[in-house]
Amino acid sequence: MKKLGQRAKSPLEYGRSAWLRLMLLATFVFLYAPIITLVAYSFNDSRRNIVWRGFTLKYYEKAWNNEGLIEAFVNSLTIAFACTLVATVIGTMAAIALWRFPFPFRRAADATFALPIVIPEICMGVAMLAFFSRIGWPTDLIWPFNLGAITIAHISFSFPFVAVVVRARLASFNRELDEAAHDLGASPWQRFQDILLPHLRPALIAGALLAFTLSLDDFVITFFTSGPNTVTFPVKVYSMVRFSVTPEVNAASTLLIVITLVLTSIALWLQNRGNERHPG
């Protein structure tokens, strides 16, 4: 009898193919090498990001003391939270409306909602810029109201993503659950709250997460809708990089990565906890 390791490879044992392993390795290298380099060089004790000269935290300190950068950071987070909240609510309502009610031109409405997903961002940015200047959107409001235009732009391109995720989840909803609740005397609101919402929870979390990350790192649309007083983190980084890529930018980017990772982990953890308790 042959040993287990020497056994001939069966067609479905992809993992044992050397060629595929190499492919996998290459993919990981191209995906993560730049990010690892970025993080590593944020600790580099050099003004220029070329040669490694020893470990330091001074660029984190420098970034912390860079008021413009911190302001952009706070702006980005504020916009992202507001956008997530509103986009999740609107996206969910849109998905439920399209799923629940047979109204005329439903397919057309469905397609219209998906439009912001496929439209090139640059077009969307120009359109937003033209729109806000055409209607004379005030640019001299106090913080955080001066972020209104950017937030609205972010909501409008991120809520379709929420709607798509929620739609997919709705497809697996057993309508008899809703009818059973109706039969037992629950009002429409109670049925939504007690029956539909718990079913949608994983999709709401996933959708919100999507909206948050989309908003946080959006550059193109934000670039067109931001003014001198409403700089967001990506826009600020871009303006800093135009002079030189300093470890300061690396440090700020690393922080952003950490924040995103932490929030994603929390969301996934919430989602998994929900799934463990009631699968399906």
Partner 1 sequence: MNDRNSESPIIEIRGATRHFGGAWPAVDNIDLDIAEGEFFALLGPSGCGKTTLLRMIAGFENPNEGTIRIDGVDVAGLAPNRRPVNMVFQSYAVFPFMSVFDNIAYGLKVSKVPVSQRRKRVEEALALVRLDGLGQRMPDQISGGQRQRVALARALVKRPRVLLLDEPLSALDAKLRETMQMELVSLQKKVGITFVLVTHDQDEALSMADRIAIMDRGRVRQIADPTTIYESPTSRFVAEFIGKVNLFDAVVKEVLDAEDRIVFEVEGLGELRLPRSRTAGSPMPAASTALAIRPEKIRLSAERPADPIAFEARLEGFAYHGSQSHLHLITEGGGRLSVTSVNSKRKPCESERGKRCFISWDFDDTLILNE
Q: Give the residues lining the site for partner 1 (CB under 8 A).
A: 174, 176-177, 179-187, 190, 194-195, 198-199, 277-280
Measured from the CB atom, the residue of 65 and 190 that comes closer to partner 1 is 190
Measured from the CB atom, the residue of 140 and 176 that comes closer to partner 1 is 176
Measured from the CB atom, the residue of 126 and 270 that comes closer to partner 1 is 270
Give the pair of three-digit tokens for residue 139.
């640019």
Q: How far is the CB of 211 from partner 1 (least distance, A)?
A: 24
Q: How far apart are CA 83 and CA 153, in angstroms?
A: 9
Q: How far is the CB of 86 from partner 1 (least distance, A)?
A: 26
Q: How far is the CB of 225 from partner 1 (least distance, A)?
A: 40
Q: How far is the CB of 50 from partner 1 (least distance, A)?
A: 56
Q: Which residues contact 128 (CB under 8 A, 6 or more apart)?
A: 149, 153, 156, 221, 224, 225
Q: How far is the CB of 1 from partner 1 (least distance, A)?
A: 40
Give the pair of three-digit tokens for residue 232.
């967001």
Per-residue exposure over 8-31, b if at least 16 CB sit within 10 Å of its own CB, e if not: eeeeeeeeeeeeeeeeeeeeeeee
- Is 58 within 8 Å of 69 (Cβ atoms)? no
DSSP track, 144-170: TGGGHHHHHHHHHHHHHHHHHHHHHHH
Measured from the CB atom, the residue of 177 and 257 that comes closer to partner 1 is 177
Measured from the CB atom, the residue of 86 and 205 that comes closer to partner 1 is 205
* Residues paired with 44 in a beta bridge: 55
